[in-house]
Amino acid sequence: MGQFEGKKGLILGVANDRSIAWAIAEFIMREGGECGFTHLPDAPEDLKRKNRRRVAQCTEGYERAKFLVPLDVRDDSNIAAVMDQTASVFGKIDFLLHSIAYADREDLKRDTVETSRDGFRLAMEISAYSLIAVTNAAKGIMSERSAIATMTYFGGEKCVPGYNVMGICKAALDAIVRYLAHDLGPRGIRVNALSAGPLKTLAGSAAGVGSMLGLYAHMAPLGRNITHEEVGKAGAFLLSDHSDGITGEILHIDGGYNAMGSPGRLLDVIHAAQS
Ligand SMILES: NC(=O)c1ccc[n+]([C@@H]2O[C@H](COP(=O)([O-])OP(=O)(O)OC[C@H]3O[C@@H](n4cnc5c(N)ncnc54)[C@H](O)[C@@H]3O)[C@@H](O)[C@H]2O)c1
């Protein structure tokens, strides 16, 4: 019997088959869980409905993918409609994945000191505040022993040049995880974050992960980058009964990169280049 047999939940943040949310959802569905999905709303003039189509291409063929509805986390009525849909299909849910981030490319490229006011507000609203909005709307339909997980990155703990405004959003998100864990603990709802090393995805590429891949391969204790499959398993762990007793936690899945206090084996490369 799969570890998610009989469990139901909501997956927010699949854009395509490279999305971290898809890696986690695929693992959960393989283990018997049933999932509802959302996609970014399509513009009315986009007759091909590209956003919906990309997510539908992932979910089609999965019997355990139960519905697919639009969601823009900037809109509270849209969030409420998604929760209504979820309740009507599943009743109570056992897990909720929030795997959502956005910042204007211009603001990501700028030095943090030049971040625009509007760009900061937008990035924070979508990438950090939305976890509060979604959790508040979902808490009434979460079962007594349930779990929420979000996706974060090390750039919220330490300065990672190039990650810029998104690093500030992740620092806020990490703090939100701890406060929500406290608020929802009495209801038996756990709230955690998974801090992933760089992976090539739409959001990842916008945040400059391409240049980070080599760094992790040299500096991380494991001497390599992580895979989508590994993130899928770790995310599912945080959403499963196997992590009962864990809440308010930031779990790193980064080959151990965050444990390093020096460039490690990258120094050998630098020394070799100098000699
Ligand atoms: N890729 C990486 O290297 C990496 C590393 C650590 C953390 N993360 C985090 O993982 C999460 C998922 O990113 P990903 O790498 O899978 O990329 P992705 O582009 O596949 O996922 C980002 C998702 O955010 C959604 N989104 C953006 N604005 C939205 C809005 N207004 N309303 C609703 N949804 C919205 C997009 O539709 C998309 O599905 C993000 O929080 C990201 O910061 C990514």
pLDDT tens digits in sequence order for the chain, 275 residues long: 899 999 999 999 999 999 999 999 999 999 999 999 999 999 999 999 999 999 999 999 999 999 999 999 999 999 999 999 999 999 999 999 999 999 999 999 999 999 999 999 999 999 999 999 999 999 999 999 999 999 999 999 999 999 999 999 999 999 999 999 999 999 999 999 999 999 999 998 888 888 888 899 999 999 999 999 999 999 999 999 999 999 999 999 999 999 999 999 999 888 888 88
Choose among 47, 40, 84, 39: nearest CA to 65.
39
Q: Which one, of 11, 15, 38, 39, lies nearest residue 26 by Cα?
A: 11
CA–chain centroid gap for 102, Å, is 11
CA of 100 to the centre of ligand 1 (A): 4
11 lines ligand 1 (CB under 6 A): no
Say how far residue 144 (Cα) sits from the centre of its chain: 23
Tell me the two tokens of residue 17: 């088959």
Provide the greatest CA pair distance for the chain.
67
Q: What angle do CA 234, 236, 241 make, to 5 degrees?
A: 110
Nearest ligand 1 atom to the CA of 21 is 16
| Calpha distance 202→207 (Å, rounded) | 9
Whether 54 is in the pocket of ligand 1, judged by its Cβ within 6 Å, is: no
Q: Is the CB of 20 under 6 A from ligand 1?
A: yes
- Give me the pLDDT at residue 208, please: 81
State residue 207's pLDDT score: 83
| Residues written for the chain | 275
Cβ burial 7-42 (10 Å sphere, 16+ → b, else e): bbbbbbbbbeebbbbbbbbbbbbebebbbbbbbbbe
**DSSP reduced 3-state for 260:** coil
- Which ligand 1 atom lies nearest to the CA of residue 14? 39
* Residue recorded with tokens 């030049």: 114
pTM: 0.97
The count of other CB atoms within 10 Å of the CB of residue 101 is: 23
Interatomic CA distance for residues 20 and 200, integer angstroms: 10
- Nearest atom, ligand 1, residue 100 CA: 24
> Distance between CA 146 and CA 12 in Å, rounded?
16
Question: Which residues have a catalytic role annotated?
Answer: 153, 163
Residue among 50, 73, 96, 99 to mutate when testing ligand 1 (max atoms within 8 A of CB): 99
Residue 157 CB neighbour total at 10 angstroms: 16
Q: Count helices and strands (H / E) in the chain.
A: 11, 7
Ligand 1 contact, 255 CB (< 6 A)? no
Query: What residue type is 222 in one-letter code?
Result: L
Set out the domains of the chain in order of their start, with CATH numbers: 8-274 (3.40.50.720)
